[in-house]
Structure 1
Amino acid sequence: MPPMQFYVTTHIHTDGPIPGPHSLLTLASAAHTGDGTVVSTFSANIRELPGATLHPTALENWRSRAEDWLSTRRAARPPAQVTNAYASWVQGLGGAPVFVTDPDEPDHLFCYWYLQRFAGRWPFRGTTSVTEVDDRIRATPLCTLQVCCPEPLVLAAC
């Protein structure tokens, strides 16, 4: 029998367009079965990378959303700690986890960079485009920030 396949959707917030010079601030993921049932979630706020800077465009964006910015900084943990916990969460799903990516968003770029840099691995068995998965998987909201989701969400902390 083939291993169960999980689809992991992810939503992030950053302080710039690329990882390294800029930081991943929030990471939220949901693991779905093929029929769209959410089986597990992960969310964390992440401390800025040492030496990274806030991109001018991101600064302008965050200035108009002070409450959201503060939300991303609450209980922020070191990047290595969060990334290793995330990699363990993905691995703990068992089966064959697949990272669902939207090529127009930087989620996959930041996740790949952080996982390689801090966990030393990419824990997914594959990737697929968001257009290739069921609408029920794409429709799951992950973000608690007002700009993304006006209704409050409760996600399981890692």
Structure 2
Amino acid sequence: MAARRIKPSRYISVDIEADGPIPGPYSMLSIGAAVAGVQDGDGFTAADPEERTFYRELRPIGEEFVPEALAVSGLDRERLLVEGSEPTVALTEFSEWVREVSAGAQPVMCGYPASYDWTFLYWYLIRFTGASPFGHSGCLDMKTLYATKAGLPLRAVVKGTMPRELLSRRRHTHHALDDAVEQAELFAHLMEWQGPGSPR
């Protein structure tokens, strides 16, 4: 019997900045995304992470915020209340972009760590568009990917302990697009890495 054809996965690095720990009471203020690469039955092929990108700043959806969380991004809530994109518009544009760059493949969100960004992203997609282009489980956590390949407990993993050749040379700026591009490079390196003692 012929093997069932495997549909490729298009990996999209996503980073969000928010003003608190959970969506709903708190707001996603910006979203950045960069295509990291594609994987099919023959393996993984990295993409230029600057070639296909997406960025929006969003209008806050509530009054609550955590000053420390807001300070991380450096975004101005008062400015975003006036100039930020309406979440419905921004998330619809994002979904359309994901479908466009993933033509012929299944989109998979990847993040470091994915849990925080995915929580906001999925909640916002369902709340403001009614659907997610990634489905309900189309995300991959780079921290878990590294822990598995390195043979380490998940909670022992921090970027500072990773081999230098895996890390992006770009700075982590807490600007959502900058960080999405940086993480796309990290993801590509991780996908190509065979584990400790092997060249990337």
TM-score by length of 1: 0.72
Q: Normalized per residue, which structure has more helix? A: 2
1:69 corresponds in structure 2 to: 75
Alignment of 1:129 onto 2:164: no
Assess, with a 3 A threshold, how the Cα gap between structure 1 residues 121 and 137 changes in structure 2: closer, same or farther: farther
Alignment of 1:58 onto 2:69: yes
Please state how far the C-alpha of 1:21 moved relative to its aligned partner. 0.5
Assess, with a 3 A threshold, how the Cα gap between structure 1 residues 52 and 91 changes in structure 2: closer, same or farther: farther
Please state how far the C-alpha of 1:142 moved relative to its aligned partner. 9.5
Identify which of 95, 99, 108 aligns with 2:109: 99
Assess, with a 3 A threshold, how the Cα gap between structure 1 residues 81 and 53 changes in structure 2: closer, same or farther: same
Alignment of 1:118 onto 2:118: no
Please state how far the C-alpha of 1:46 moved relative to its aligned partner. 0.4
SS, match of residue 108 in structure 2: strand
Who wins on radius of gyration, i.e. which is larger? Answer: 2
TM-score by length of 2: 0.58
Gaps of at least 5 residues in structure 1 are none
Runs of at least 4 residues off by over 4 Å: 135-138, 140-143
Measured on the aligned residues, the alpha-carbon RMSD in Å equals 3.6
Bigger mean CA offset, 5-14 vs 93-102 = 93-102
Work out whether residues 114 and 141 of structure 2, in 8 Å CA contact, stay in contact via their aligned partners in 1: no
In structure 2, give the amino acid aligned to 1:54.
F
Please state how far the C-alpha of 1:42 moved relative to its aligned partner. 0.6
Identify which of 28, 42, 46 aligns with 2:58: 46
1:148 corresponds in structure 2 to: 174
SS, match of residue 106 in structure 1: helix
Identify which of 24, 29, 32 aligns with 2:28: 24
Work out whether residues 32 and 40 of structure 1, in 8 Å CA contact, stay in contact via their aligned partners in 2: no
- Mapped partners of 1:142, 1:8: distance in 2: 19
In structure 1, give the amino acid aligned to 2:60.
E
Count, aligned residues: 143
Alignment of 1:6 onto 2:10: yes
SS, match of residue 84 in structure 2: coil
Percent of aligned pairs with the same amino acid: 26
In structure 2, give the amino acid aligned to 1:116.
I
